[in-house]
Structure 1
């Protein structure tokens, strides 16, 4: 397809962002380019030289934004409100329309300091970039609505970090997202009492991300959409066995797209208290608490929108979250089981049985879904799985197990030991073959699942 540039964000005006300049890096070493994602934008034909000029040098893409923009937002961080955040080491670089007709953003991480950097250096460790590639590739393959790692360029600086061996190598990441408007973007306007700006932002989101025109009921409609999308995201996290780690309100996109991967993990088993962030001492964002956390963030959007909307309509919209979550949870689990949905009540019962038996038996999550894909649970899964096996007999397979992936001896997983092993080869030997091989294996699994 042809590249279709956009400048939609400029409709909001300069009260929503600050023009910034990208850092200049001593080196530009291309480590990852996502040509599959680039093809959806008409950018897959770029040479490596052109790629580096745009996604490390940040020359403007013709017809898109003339200058990068650091977006303004606030947010609750571990339930504590923080009005001193915003794009501190990234910016919105470009907007365009993708092959599905959606407005898309190319945003950065590690591209230099902005007015919101505070005491940070605005940089990204190379390890952080590698980890984001692995997270987004795995989540995309597992059917989770996620941003996509678009480009990773090593930048030649030595960074010092207090929570990992230093000095360490640096990088700049470009991610492809369906918008960068966060719940925290609305919270900032509510905090400042900016009524007109709030209405403008609600109209922007409805128009560009939900294909609806605003009206008197715009805030409640917007909240209903966000509730539905974020409930789906929570359900997809649980079915994928994924723990985001930092589900603060500034990390929740109003399109329901997962993004910004710091201390993420995949759970080896269905472990409710499993956490990803070493600093999450209270387990606020533990695996099984993620739906609660995302609901809490959606409630902060409702609170913010009360600046311009009647409270009862917002409460009604927010109250839709639990039912939406249970419905989406069944959909996500049945998708991983590889079976065709039948009846909402039966589907929900099946999904609950899966969660209960996985939790009770400490069964490896990825192994279970690998073995049961298509609805046939092997006999070696003994008595604890008998009732679930009976439930599955009523379900037809979504697709046959014909892809070569299903003949593998082990499922494709992404546990922390493998993440660290992939990074060790890069850190110690500058050997990128393990990362390349893992991305290929993940995409192969994705082909088998869809």
Structure 2
């Protein structure tokens, strides 16, 4: 029986989301005859973790669904065994990249990839703790439906299942590597506030996320669409497109990847950096691997913590690091775009060595460029005033460390890519899966 991994990484209270994602898992098992492994990777504090355990214990049994709820201790034990078994040169350093002490969107998803390998899954389907499903006629609209229908099948077969195809026929023999959608509802609360307070400041700051050299009309469109997902329109019916999926059309709360992607190349393990987990979306697109874009968008909302003073400063740090990382990643993406199908080996799989080489090349960014970016943020935030002045002071006190840190994280990403095949192979040994969980 085909196994798939539906994963929910979390570090905050989300009992309603756990229950909703469990319903999605049951839907997938019921309609597609697959074994769905619902993997909750929980980094929450003790009281929240205990509440999640009660929520998981109360989930109704569902045929074909196996639930795994792993706290950080269980995750660490698994990863420690995997890193040792893999034979990587620096197991302690590798373990730190897989389970850092700070928030890392890439690292939490990388852990899901390795657990999926241990479980013998063919794909990973990711959701987030701050998301909900849309409804149609009183029933939830589950993205997993489209993901299981298309992922891993030859694009030529999937062409008859989708609403439309915009895929180059030259790629029709390749299997679908990615299925995803976006979100509807609130854009990022802090970015939205900047836009509301001063549209010119918003344009200047968000403009830092756009690669240099884009025509002005494209640049303005990218700024306008940034952080907005699929807007606010309610779901009224399915629309699916077979294509090479643009990374700007997919959100990581609503995405699935075939193991032929994530077993070859991991995500950047950067800490406190939004957007760091979108790397594979760019790689799949640039390598001309087929995907399906759907409109079963997830409803975005923000927890109370995001609206607190501490949540505001935490996000500003992650946003600043995103802007500082952008020159590095833009360099890598320029390389992957130029490489195109050369990113693939003769069997159609991603060549990790080629990707690692581009990441190392992308690390060579003039520190002055990053310093100038922080200057723009500092000047812009002080113009906004209020709590943005506090954010400017907060970032100024960490200025040199942030500039150095994004470089170090690019170099660490290259090292993780080098080690990834060994880690994935060691994970595929079922003896390494945490006892008493499966």
Compare CA radii of gyration and give the structure with the larger one: 1
Bigger helix share: 2
- Highest relative contact order (Cα 8 Å, sep 6+), 1 or 2? 2
On whether the aligned pair clears a TM of 0.5, the verdict is: no
Q: TM-score, normalised by structure 2?
A: 0.31
Q: TM-score, normalised by structure 1?
A: 0.31
